[in-house]
Structure 1
Amino acid sequence: MEVDPIPSAAKGKGKATENPYDDDNLPWVEKYRPVTLDDVVSHKDITTTIDKFIEKNRLPHLLFYGPPGTGKTSTILAVARRIYGPEFRKQVLEVRLPSSH
């Protein structure tokens, strides 16, 4: 008997799992994405400031902007992982707007 990996209730309602790829087929950017704020490079002043906000439990609303590949998503995912633990993906809504080229 073959079991359907995606429950019928989840079909057509977005991602059924957190990671749609198996470990062998992960995109490079996901495989090597920084996991903690310490892993995010070239933004130590920003990550240190965010770290202080988290330690004081006073994280304000944040707006990340900049060109693709500068660490915006990686930074906020590291923050969410630190604050919410293993279930962090349930607390993050990622919105990608079309580029205005």
Structure 2
Amino acid sequence: MKNSYIKFRCTELEKERIEGMAERSGVSLSEYCRQQCLTGRILASPKLSPTEILYFRELKEHNNAIARLANLIRNKDPQLVIAIAEYLEQSRQLYNRFF
């Protein structure tokens, strides 16, 4: 149970920077300071924009496709050429959407 307080002084600019880092880390100011002091690092992932979330979902799908391709290669499946062509087309479409 957290029932003790630690206070420290800082400039307004330092406070704004610390609050900004806590917000980007996706944790409260208290949690950010506590984790920074105890471990020297923050174990929270930063908030992602909707575009970044979409990108990472697409990336996961492409990683799964690569794993399937690796399995096809291992099993020497004749559908390999078709699967590679489909994957390359999806990759081109993804690349064109983001770049």
Per the shorter chain, which TM-score range? under 0.3
Larger Rg: 2
TM-score normalised to the size of structure 1?
A: 0.24
Greater share of helix residues, 1 or 2?
2
User: TM-score, normalized by length of structure 2?
Assistant: 0.24
